[in-house]
Amino acid sequence: MSTIALNASTKPGIATAWLFLNRRLIRIFPIYWLYAALSAIRIHHSHHALAPYLKSLLLLPVPQWDRMIDLSWTLMFEMFFYGLLSLVLLATVRAAVPCMMLFLCGFVGIGLAMNPTMSIWTVVCNPILLEFVFGAAIALAFRRFGVHKPVGMALICIGIAASLYLCFHPSSRAESMQQILSDMPSVMWRVGTWGLAAACLVGGGIFAQTTVKTWFGKLTVVIGNSSYSAYLASVLVIEFSLRLLLNLVHVRPLTTAAETSIQLAALAAVLAAGWLSYQFVEWPLVRWLQAKFSPARS
């Protein structure tokens, strides 16, 4: 998203801000509502009232609402990021990304200083927003230096080493929505450890990028394109695929090899469902809606 803003050739103002936000809304909401509808069927089948879940359809930064899709709480932060960047584009395009980074850091600083308890501020001032700053910093660095394979490979190695270290030296960290929205110090620990490790992996992959003509390059493009569909589908696909796989494996307790195989099979099911969803639902729907409702680029 930062790269899109950096590459924009339009002037700041309402048209530029709306063009950016319009395309984000079309990309996020229609397929989200589709999977929310599937989740609503499941909720209704479980004899739970649907009313408490309906407010989450707008992805507003109100964390106490019940979520149609369990993982969709992360989209609150994403939509806040899009909204903030759109507001910045009203005033500047050239400096939009640095300004947005300063705003996010400022909000996080206010949150750490005041430790707000009002629901909306636990999103707006949450340290997890610094992970968006990491992504924006990577975009700025790549725009300045371009492809640099030695740096990219070094960052990938650092990211892998840090991730392995954190796996074998666990500590208290914010993982669930409730922890992330209520325990600012734990979120800062998460951002400063797992967040930085992830930033190294992402940045390394960008700086060390190779041609997508290789089979691995093509595979990463396919997974990247379908990642949002896979994200939305993952809760339902993991649940039902694990049920099916566990019914097929009658050995109890599960051996380490069997458990690993089941987890890998569930992961493959998520990726396959994400690709099918993207190829035949998400992308055709996005193209149709953009052609119909997105303003033309100037």
> What pLDDT sits at residue 35?
95
Highest mean pLDDT among 35-44, 249-258, 264-273: 264-273
User: Locate tokens 């493009």: which residue?
Assistant: 221
136 vs 43 pLDDT, higher one? 136
Q: Is 168 exposed, middle or buried (0-12, 13-18, 19+ CB in 10 A)?
A: exposed
Q: Kindly give the residue spans of alpha helices, DSSP state H, lying in the chain.
A: 2-6, 14-45, 51-54, 74-89, 96-114, 119-124, 130-145, 149-168, 177-180, 184-190, 196-207, 215-225, 227-248, 256-277, 283-293
pLDDT for 133-156, tens place per residue? 999 999 999 988 888 999 999 999
For residue 258, give both structure tokens.
Answer: 């069997």
The pTM of this model reads 0.87
**Residues whose CB falls within 8 Å of the CB of residue 31, separated by 6 or more in sequence, listed in order:** 228, 229, 232, 277, 281, 282, 285, 286
Q: Helices 256-277 & 215-225, crossing angle to 10 degrees?
A: 70
Highest mean pLDDT among 52-61, 217-226, 233-242, 277-286: 277-286
CA distances from 217 to 68, 69, 173, 205, 210 (A): 34, 31, 33, 11, 7
